Amino acid sequence: MIYFNKKVLILTFCSAGCSIQLFQVLSQFIQFPVRTEIIYDYPSKMIVPDFDIFIRNTNLLNLTEIYLKQPKKITQICKSFVQPSNATIETLEQFNDFCSKAFKSYEFGLSLGKILTVGDIEATNVEPLIPKVRVGDIIRSDLCSIERHFNSINTFLRVSCKENSKPIEKQLVRNIEADERFCIMHNIYNKFGVRFAHTNSSINPTIVSYNDIEREKGENVLTFLRYREITIESSEWPYQPNCRHYNKTEIFNECLRKKLFQLYPGTIHMEDVVRAGELAKDSKFEDLRTRLHSPVSQKRKECAELVKRPQCVEKTYQTQGKTFKEKGRGIGMICLESQVDFNIILKTYPKYTLTEILIYISSILGIWFGVSIYGRLMEGFVCPRIDEPIFQKVDVAQNVKRFPLDIQ
At 225-265, the pLDDT tens digits run 999 999 999 999 888 888 999 999 999 988 988 888 888 88
pLDDT over 90 (residue 121): yes
94 confidence band (pLDDT: 50, 70, 90): confident
Highest mean pLDDT among 30-34, 141-145, 286-290, 345-349: 345-349
Contact yes or no for 274/149 (Cβ under 8 A): yes
Contact yes or no for 323/223 (Cβ under 8 A): yes
Dihedral (CA of 81, 87, 91, 96) sign: negative
pLDDT over 70 (residue 289): yes
Half-sphere exposure for 122 (CA within 13 Å, toward CB): 14
212 confidence band (pLDDT: 50, 70, 90): very high
pTM over 0.75: yes
Domain ranges of the chain: 45-350
- The total number of residues shown for the chain amounts to 408
pLDDT over 90 (residue 352): no
pLDDT over 70 (residue 373): no
- Whole-number mean pLDDT of the chain? 84
Residue 255: its pLDDT value, please?
92
Half-sphere exposure for 67 (CA within 13 Å, toward CB): 17
pLDDT over 90 (residue 332): yes
Mean pLDDT value across residues 335-359: 87
Residue 329: its pLDDT value, please?
87
* Mean pLDDT lowest among 30-39, 132-141, 307-316: 132-141
Residue 1: its pLDDT value, please?
45
DSSP track, 354-372: HHHHHHHHHHHHHHHH---
- The CA angle 260-262-264, to the nearest 5 degrees, is 65
pLDDT over 80 (residue 176): no
391 confidence band (pLDDT: 50, 70, 90): low
Residue 221: its pLDDT value, please?
94
User: If we measure between CA atoms, which residue out of 298, 301, 294, 202 comes closest to residue 251?
Assistant: 202
Q: What gap in Å lies between CA 140 and CA 134, rounded to an integer?
A: 6
Residue 195: its pLDDT value, please?
95
Q: What gap in Å lies between CA 221 and CA 188, rounded to an integer?
A: 10
